[in-house]
Structure 1
Amino acid sequence: MRSRASESGRAWPFALLAIVLVLTGSGVAAYSLGYLDRWVCDDGTCAAQDPEAAAVPDTPAAPVLRPALEAVTGTAGLDAAAVERAVGPLLSRKALGAHVGFAVADLTSGEQVWSSGTGTFVPASTLKIFTSLAAMTSIGAEHRFRTTVVRDTSTTGTPSTTGTPSATATATTAPAASPQRIVLVGGGDPYLTATSGEEARAAYPRRVSLAQLARQTATALRADGVTAVSLGYDASLFTGPAVNPQWESGYISSFVTTPVSALWVDQGADGWRRSATPDKQAAQVFARQLRARGITVDGVVAATKPTASEEIAAVSSGTVAQIVQSVIEHSDNQGAEVLLRHVALADGQPASFAGGVAAVEKVLTGLGVPWEGNRIYDGSGLARSNRVTLTSMLAAVSTATELFDRYPVAGFSGSLVTRFAVPGTEAGLGAVRAKTGTLTGVHGLAGTTVTADGTPVGFAVLTDRVPVARTTAARDTLSRIAARLTACACGTS
């Protein structure tokens, strides 16, 4: 009989081999996944380094999806009387206040079928549907906005360099080193961020950062022996007032929105407040990042892009389609106002509130959206003086087929993630896709759903005289209206 010691002695080489194979495999896996690269440093230290995202964010491949709204064969259309029976009683609920409007359209034909309520309404953030539709149409879904750094090539000042002076140079005869002039040029990226941290990489659309731009800039400067610069910043792409005169005075200080700028980082957030000068703040962040990379920055001043200049660094935003997705889904006021100005530029208008509104009107009326009666002052819907007709809102919803899969989904995403959670709203869960609108006393919901008998419909429900004490009840009632429409067998066949 073999002893246990003998068996143990024979087994240990195999155990050792297994351990070696496991460690080797783990090392190969770690190397192939890039984990070891995070600990490799140029200066020989072992400080962890996160990989930097690309200067142009990746656009994920579009999945192959079944259309979100697909008409059922044989459906003749909506029965107006059936729609009225389904949602009419909810429209008279006290929670909605004294001024309520509702309209519904059959998306298979595009025809408005039934409406209730008169006059015009404060749209609040449902106005972002107008802005987003105009942006997708006039700018283009795949367009990106570039933030750049240029250097002035019109001057011949001696750049500041490192190294030993030539033997012929003396302290009394050598020319004074002058910093090279560079300019940070804002391109209207609404989601430019300060650093490429995990949060920026995980965001949608993926953020590009000033840190990436600073790294490119420092590399280009050092390649030319430049170690000192003067820094200008150019936010002149947008014009007109940065704060809309129709907005309430507390919007900036209460973190509701930021003064609109073609150059900002993290949408002008500065700790727990909004920067009053987001372009200057961005330039100051950029200057610190250049200094951290060995470039001396001699002053930060407002400037314009030099006529004689060359681009030395650039980063590009996500696509317009991705930005629109975020604006619609999260009701992003800052992103909407930036898009408004880009719509103006695409139409040859001044990139201001007035120019953007004029361009949106031109684009939407060109798509067949009626405009008579509308009074619009911004792109986000923050202005309480905005007014829209139910007809124009419903027409925009029905026209904006490219937005159908970008709306929040009831109970699942964006501004609808916590909605449709009360009794009577179950039918709408996962079916209703709509943009919310909320100001004090103002509530709206506009989007799409599919009725119980398979008819895809567009709808808009707006109310702008809701007592503050009934705010929660008003939101829940809007959810019930959309759910009741979804549960309705309202087809005419």
Structure 2
Amino acid sequence: MPSHHSERGRAWPYVLLAVVLVLTGGGVAAYSLGHLDRWVCDDGSCETREADPASVAVTPAEPEAAPVLAAAGSRPLDAARVERAIEPLLRRKELGRHVGFAASDLASGEPVWSSGTGTFVPASTLKLFTTLAAMRTLGPEHRFRTTVLRDSTGEQPSATDAAPTTGAPAPGPARLVLVGGGDPYLTASSNAAARTSYPQQASLAQLARRTAQALKADGVNEVSLGYDSSLFTGPAVNSTWEPGYIASFVTSPVSALWVDQGRDGWRRSADPARQAATTFAKQLKARGLTVTGVKSTGRPVESEELAAVSSGTVAQISQSVIEYSDNQAAEVLLRHVAIAQKQPASFEGGVKAVRDVLTDLGVGWDGNRVYDGSGLSRDNRVTLASMLQVVTIGRDLFGRYPVAGFNGSLTSRFTASGTAAGLGAVRAKTGTLTGVHSYAGTTVTRDGTPVGFVIFTDRVPERRTLDARATLDRIAARLSACACATG
């Protein structure tokens, strides 16, 4: 039996080899990182050693959306090939008896092929009308401000304050007015979720903090609070919406002043402006102010601005409206378009303003009947041609569509067989109501031609809802997979 000494004797070369490897590897790593420079260059004979740029990982800049249009020189679409690829799917029974499809060549801007007659219920694809008009009228960088005004028309002593025997009368509460500027995403809290959301949300908490700081700097500790939501006019609820939309909390009454889009917990407030003002009063009290009275007052005749917060940009808001099909924000944008076009800030005024903006851009309006900005109304009717023109003209919306299988309302779509070609290629706004399913967006064919397309179905049997959705995905994927260019 061998001795322990002989075992150790045979093992020491391996131990030595391991030590050498560790020291060598560590030395190479240290040298490559420059850690040895302070030992070998202490005499000043070496310049500071810079890492080879090629060996250093660089944090990339924020990526830009890939261009939707193909490079110059892509071949135009062939109408006959588009028809052969798409027409058989349009006859599928699950789509119902009223189906429309239209496609355009985005490189040339020309319509290529369409199928289907009459007008269609657009559902939420109508949001493309509203957001394109907002982007072109207001500008992508425009923001909406919520302000606090201090009434300077002459503050009177409060009824409970006794006037001093000498000097000026004792001051009463400062009169404040919370003025709604039509920020669709104003929120109550300034928590981390609000700060990191997209678009980043302004908050009443932030506004209350700034207001309290300004008042305390003036030695004011007591205020009366009014609120003003008069920026928007007309009815807050659309007469063509289903009666249950408000009662079942599908959407809120439209207001220029609200927090969390009129939500109070999981419910929606019947009076969003008053709810916002009541929340603001609580936040002022939490910051040491005495608040008396919360009532609708309108804007003061003379005032000074104490504090303000600003929304995200119109471009950011439009992306959220399109990506998540936000009904509330769409109706707010509709009214801002009306204001910019010098129309009443109402459903009717907003629709007229959107029509004027889009027709000026070359969109045909004949046959369209539109009643809101979100597409909630089942009375809305639009033509294939007008929706296709909005898709084709609205290049500033291309990068804001949901991407198939990736985000927004397309996150969980394109999972059925025959839809793989559309994943990551199709970018489209969805539209869904009971019996109504639609797409409006873009893709690129297999041979590199950029395509705008619209699919409308508005008589889908309710029991075939999931089948119809899958078939719409197949149509868009078939267009992506199509070798539909000429030649």
User: TM-score if structure 2 supplies the norm length?
Assistant: 0.85
Q: Find 1:376's aligned residue among 370, 375, 390.
A: 370
Q: Is the 8 A contact 1:159 1:226 kept in 2?
A: no
1:318 equivalent in structure 2:
312
Q: Is the 8 A contact 1:75 1:492 kept in 2?
A: no
1:299 equivalent in structure 2:
293
In structure 1, C-alpha distance between the alignment counterparts of 2:410 and 2:66, rounded to whole Å: 21
In structure 2, C-alpha distance between the alignment counterparts of 1:64 and 1:199, rounded to whole Å: 23
* One-letter code aligned to 2:294: V
Q: Is the 8 A contact 1:253 1:273 kept in 2?
A: no
1:100 equivalent in structure 2:
99
2:124 equivalent in structure 1:
125
Seq. identity, %:
69
Measure how far apart 1:384 and its partner are: 0.2
The reply on whether 1:259 has 2:253 as its aligned counterpart is yes
In structure 1, C-alpha distance between the alignment counterparts of 2:264 and 2:380, rounded to whole Å: 29
The reply on whether 1:419 has 2:413 as its aligned counterpart is yes
In structure 1, C-alpha distance between the alignment counterparts of 2:73 and 2:227, rounded to whole Å: 61
The reply on whether 1:448 has 2:442 as its aligned counterpart is yes
The reply on whether 1:116 has 2:115 as its aligned counterpart is yes
Secondary structure at the aligned position of 2:305 is classed as strand
2:424 equivalent in structure 1:
430
In structure 2, relative to structure 1, the CA distance for the partners of 1:342 and 1:174 (3 Å cut) is closer
Q: Is the 8 A contact 1:357 1:377 kept in 2?
A: yes
In structure 1, C-alpha distance between the alignment counterparts of 2:164 and 2:448, rounded to whole Å: 85
The reply on whether 1:406 has 2:400 as its aligned counterpart is yes
In structure 2, relative to structure 1, the CA distance for the partners of 1:174 and 1:320 (3 Å cut) is closer
In structure 1, C-alpha distance between the alignment counterparts of 2:94 and 2:411, rounded to whole Å: 21
1:17 equivalent in structure 2:
none
In structure 2, C-alpha distance between the alignment counterparts of 1:394 and 1:174, rounded to whole Å: 69
Q: Find 1:339's aligned residue among 333, 336, 346.
A: 333
What do the CA deviations read for 1:399-444 (whole angstroms, capped 9, x no partner)? 0000000000000000000100111100000000000000000000
2:190 equivalent in structure 1:
196
* One-letter code aligned to 2:346: S
Q: What stretches of structure 1 move > 4 A for 4+ residues in a row? A: 61-64, 172-177
User: TM-score if structure 1 supplies the norm length?
Assistant: 0.84
Measure how far apart 1:189 and its partner are: 0.2
* One-letter code aligned to 1:138: T
In structure 2, relative to structure 1, the CA distance for the partners of 1:133 and 1:173 (3 Å cut) is closer
Q: Is the 8 A contact 1:192 1:207 kept in 2?
A: yes
In structure 2, relative to structure 1, the CA distance for the partners of 1:117 and 1:327 (3 Å cut) is same
Measure how far apart 1:175 and its partner are: 4.8
2:83 equivalent in structure 1:
84
2:70 equivalent in structure 1:
71
Judge which range, 251-260 or 118-127, deviates more: 251-260
Q: Is the 8 A contact 1:159 1:228 kept in 2?
A: no
Measure how far apart 1:64 and its partner are: 5.7
Measure how far apart 1:198 and its partner are: 1.4
In structure 2, relative to structure 1, the CA distance for the partners of 1:182 and 1:76 (3 Å cut) is same
1:24 equivalent in structure 2:
none
Q: Is the 8 A contact 1:95 1:466 kept in 2?
A: yes
The reply on whether 1:208 has 2:207 as its aligned counterpart is no
2:461 equivalent in structure 1:
467
Measure how far apart 1:309 and its partner are: 0.2
What do the CA deviations read for 1:374-402 (whole angstroms, capped 9, x no partner)? 00000000000000000000000000000
Q: How many residues align?
A: 428
**Correspondences of 1:105-184 after superposition (within 5 Å):** 105-158=104-157, 169=164, 175=169, 177-184=171-178
1:7 equivalent in structure 2:
none
Secondary structure at the aligned position of 2:312 is classed as coil
Secondary structure at the aligned position of 2:451 is classed as strand
Q: Find 2:239's aligned residue among 245, 248, 251.
A: 245
In structure 1, C-alpha distance between the alignment counterparts of 2:422 and 2:248, rounded to whole Å: 33
Measure how far apart 1:307 and its partner are: 1.2
1:278 equivalent in structure 2:
272
Measure how far apart 1:201 and its partner are: 1.3
Q: Find 1:220's aligned residue among 214, 220, 224.
A: 214
Q: Is the 8 A contact 1:77 1:491 kept in 2?
A: yes
Measure how far apart 1:197 and its partner are: 0.7
Judge which range, 480-489 or 270-279, deviates more: 270-279
Q: Is the 8 A contact 1:455 1:491 kept in 2?
A: yes
In structure 2, relative to structure 1, the CA distance for the partners of 1:226 and 1:73 (3 Å cut) is closer
Which structure is larger by alpha-carbon Rg, 1 or 2?
A: 2
Secondary structure at the aligned position of 2:400 is classed as coil
* One-letter code aligned to 1:97: G
2:179 equivalent in structure 1:
185
Secondary structure at the aligned position of 1:121 is classed as coil
Q: Find 1:396's aligned residue among 384, 390, 413.
A: 390
Q: CA RMSD in A?
A: 2.1
Measure how far apart 1:76 and its partner are: 2.8
Q: Is the 8 A contact 1:124 1:384 kept in 2?
A: yes
**Structure 1 portions without partners, runs of 5+:** 1-60
Measure how far apart 1:187 and its partner are: 0.1
